[in-house]
Every structure is written in structure tokens, then in C-alpha cells.
Structure 1
């Protein structure tokens, strides 16, 4: 149990197990495929800046990010690859937040920064664990522990082996979170990955009272976020700062293991 007894550890584990399994196709889409069409993307000509949409600007920025599988990627150490994930996940979740349509009805009923921010931090932590050799299948319990520690400040240990029925129930819930992205031969498009990110965020938001414990930005990000017009900038910078803090916390814990 947590110190305040508000939400039992078993509930936290029940939320995180399917979350971990659902991250597999999402991270595979971000890591191994080209869901944004970036490899063939041509940057807009100079002078056309004012005509480009926010989506185009974000995609152009994404196009400059190195892609796993290249010689440069092979030469990177674990820390460098983990750092790459900060930008890959962070920039994608920024795109998701900037285009509410990717979230469908969820985008109209859930707070953007909390939902997408929590999903982004969770995805990043699972990705970093993978770079440290902890697979989401064989190392599921360790990843659940890592997520609970970094996101919720919980030190817990999943207990007991799942029986066949329990394991199948976790798989069904994970399938609900991934949606079309988890189907056989599904193409990892921006829309499918974006929708999955929103559902992952909703899953974490189901333990809303715990989300305040996740890494956040600095106090001045929160102050800017409360201002009219520029508030969205403050929220973005705060989530970006929180994402980096989550990565640092995850790597620090993994180094002690």
C-alpha cells in the first residue's frame, strides 16, 4: 500500500501491466518505421515560413532527427540512445497535443498536458529500459517497478505469477489501448500512433491523484502556463522539462540495478 493508503499498489500494478504491453507497437512504430514520411520529406523553401502550418514545422523538425538502424545509431552508447528517445517521444507527443483530432473524443474530454504528458513519460521510461536491455516481455515486472517509482513515487514489487485468465485479461486491456496499431500488418501511421498515445494517457489518468507525483517542469514554467496567450508555451516547456527529468530519474535507477 502507499503511505496515505489512497490507491492500493495492486491497482497501480493493474494499470501499469497493460500499459507496458501496449507500448510495444507504439515504440516499434516510433523506432523502426517512418510513420511521419520523414525520409522523403523535403523542407519548405526559405521565405515560405509564414505559409507553413504548425504540423509542417514540427514534422520538418522531426525530419532532422537520426533514425535507429543507421551506422550513426550503432556507434551511439546507451546514454546517447536514451537521449535520442527524449527528443523522439517529446517531439511526437508535442505533435499529438498540437493536433487534437488525433485524440478524437478523448481530446475533448481529458486535459491535454496531463494526459499526453503522462503517456509521453511512460513511453520514454519503457524505451529507456529497452536500451538498457530490459525487454517489455521478459522484464515486465522490472519495468512496472520502474514506472511506479518514476511516475508515482511508489516503491513496489509486483507479486505472484499471473494465471492464464489473468494474463489474457491484461492482453485484452493492452489491445484496447493500442487499437488498430496492434492489428496484424497494421501500418504505424501518425493517426494510429497518436490515438494510441491518447489511450495510454487515459489509462494513466485513471489514477489521476497519483499523476501530481510525476516529474514536472520548473516553477516558472507553471507560472508562464497560467498567463493568457503564452500559457500554452509554458505548458509545453514544462512538459518538456518534465520529460527530461523522467529520463534522468529512470537512468539513475537503472544504473543502481
Structure 2
């Protein structure tokens, strides 16, 4: 039976600015990546979102970014690999503190926005991320695109990857995400997005913008939780995945057991 993790990037509110429907969406997922304060979130939001994940019994990952709150982490910044490395330690340390506070464990790391896309293509940035994560906790999974520079750097650093597929984004022929700025690259049609998810989960492939069939073989599928109709969409997605015989499991269960250690360690 095929199995896949269902994740979303959450905890992205800040102060009086509320984004997403985390309370309702979290119980529908098997894992979540939480903002670490640099593109979104603040201490109260991080604390609250960790508790929501704990109550729902889903696994928690970090969602570190470029230090770009104004641009929501969607702008590439000119940084060195060393800066990226220490940025990872700083942000993961913040989120991990709240995980420890509530007796849960950080399981994986997924760079956010521009950092995710830049690391997929830029060896220096990818190696900086991998070095930071490996020095912080080498058992953390790296959520990234299979075959990307990020995946290569993670392997060289002794880290395990959880290959990811985006169900509501179009892909380039080389397996990278098509730019949000290109028309038609965001799949607003729910059924088309669900069909892409079903293909990823059962066949491991996606049809690129030029019709090329690209091998992705994702372990985890990302849904975007900041859309007004995200909850209804995810409910429909779960129903159709289940009907197709796809089991929903956390990424950790699909790529290997974690190293032993207490909750929060």
C-alpha cells in the first residue's frame, strides 16, 4: 500500500496579524513545519502552534528562512554559507526551546520560500543549511526536492532527506518549482491539485509545464494552509487519497526511525 506524509507550513501569524486556520487544519495533517521567527511568527505564536501540534499528535518540523519579515521570506538575500549555517542554529534553537517546553520533539527541517528555492540550486547555501542542521541535531530530516543541491548537501553532511512534492504548484522540466510569477503555476483548481497529489503518491511523478513527466517520488506532500478554502481542500484531498489506497503517515515513519532520545532532546 502506498503511503505519504501530508504537511503544511504553519505558525505564520505575527502579533495582531493572523494568517491561516491552524487550529482547524493541523488535525488534518500528519506533520507541520513551523515558522521560526524570521519570516513570520513570534514567541507567542510559536508556543501556541507547538501546543496545537502536540494536541493533534502530529510531528513538528522547523521552517527557517532568510531574515526577511517584510518580504515574508520570499526574497533572496546575499548571504554566505557561514551566515546560513549560523542562521539555522539560531532559528532551530528558538523553535526547539518551545518543543522542549511542551515535551515534544523536533523531527525535521524545511527551509522556507526563497531559501528553499535558492538552496535547491546553490551549493554554498545548501551546504550552509546542511552544516547548521548537522551541528544542531544530525538526526533531523531535511525536507527538500529529490536530486536538488539541498539533497546532495544533506547527504554529504550525513543527513537523511524526506523528498517533498508540492501538490498545488507547477513544476519545471528539471524538477524545480515553476516561479509563482508565471501565469498558471499556482493550481487554484482543487481537483487538478488533488489529481497531481494522487499521481505523486501512487506513481511518484508529476507532469511539468512543458508536458515532460518528471520523477519526484516524494515521501511528503505539501499543502498551503494560508488559502481561505484550505481546510475544505485538505479534507477533500484526504478523502481521495484514502479512497485511492494511499495511507497517511508522518515522514519519520516513511524514511526510517529516529535516533533514541527523550522528548525534546
Q: Which range, TM-score by smaller chain?
A: 0.3 to 0.5
TM-score (norm 1): 0.33
Structure with higher helix content: 1
TM-score (norm 2): 0.32
Between the two structures, name the one with larger relative contact order (CA 8 Å, sep ≥ 6).
Answer: 1
